[in-house]
Amino acid sequence: MRALRILLIIAVVLGGVFVAADRVAVHFAESEAADRIGFAGAEAGSTDVSIKGFPFLTQVADSRLDEVDVKVEDIRASAAGRDIRISEIRARLRDVTLGAGYTSATAARATGTAVLSYAALTEAADEGVTVAYGGDGKVKVTGSVRIPLVERTVTRTVLSTVTLVDGDTVRVRADEVPGEGIPGLEGLVRRKTDFERGIGGLPDGLRLERIEVAPGGLEVSVSGADIALAG
């Protein structure tokens, strides 16, 4: 009985050492991965990586991770010659294959959400235009235009619908622009308040699926396959 107790104690101690070593290894790997993940043609701010599954060391030995959560903040990309900032991308990566020497990785599948804040949309709009949450799935766009016919400047706020066009472009279009009987006013206002902006800088293989208007910004669902994570 004494020998059995000793064996059980040794097993518990060794198990604890293995768990501790496994957790140390996974934290180190998460830190290394966060430093290496990048976006082609774009600059990114902070990156956080969380590797799921236990034990981690056996996954590494097999050069395959079951699931990895990635969060990247403040991604600045250029689309059609105009910069647009993605406030945040949250992605869940599955079946991640590690390359030779663990210097690269590829996710077989990925799903997530890209968030464009209203401040970022204002930056991407024309000068003098602001974009804000309008409630009920709409955005509120405000802009000022000069009316040559009456030689005065007017400011108008419109509720606009946001749609995803061609899988990579955000379109903002006013539902209605009051003309107030002034010839050409609607067209002048729409030149300011209606716009399209492409979203670039996403990793190859990720595509935009749908867009939702939320109080904190536009939430764009993304998914893809064979996503290269580092190299």
pLDDT at position 18, please? Answer: 44
Q: Is a pLDDT exceeding 70 seen at residue 149?
A: no
DSSP string of 69-109? EEEEEEEEEEETTEEEEEEEEEEEEEEEEE-GGGS-EEEEE
Q: Is a pLDDT exceeding 80 seen at residue 62?
A: no
User: Each residue of 5-18: pLDDT tens digit?
Assistant: 444 434 433 344 44
pLDDT at position 139, please? Answer: 94
Q: 45-50: long-range contacts at Cβ-Cβ below 8 A with a sequence spacing of 24 or more? A: 45/72, 45/73, 45/74, 45/75, 46/72, 46/73, 46/74, 47/71, 47/72, 47/73, 48/72
pLDDT band for position 39 (cuts 50, 70, 90):
low
Q: Cα(228)–Cα(200) distance, rounded to whole angstroms?
A: 16
The number of angstroms, rounded, from the C-alpha of 35 to the middle of its chain's C-alpha atoms is 17
Which of 66-80, 117-131, 170-184, 210-224 is predicted most confidently?
210-224
Query: What's the alpha-carbon Rg for the chain, to the nearest Å?
Result: 25
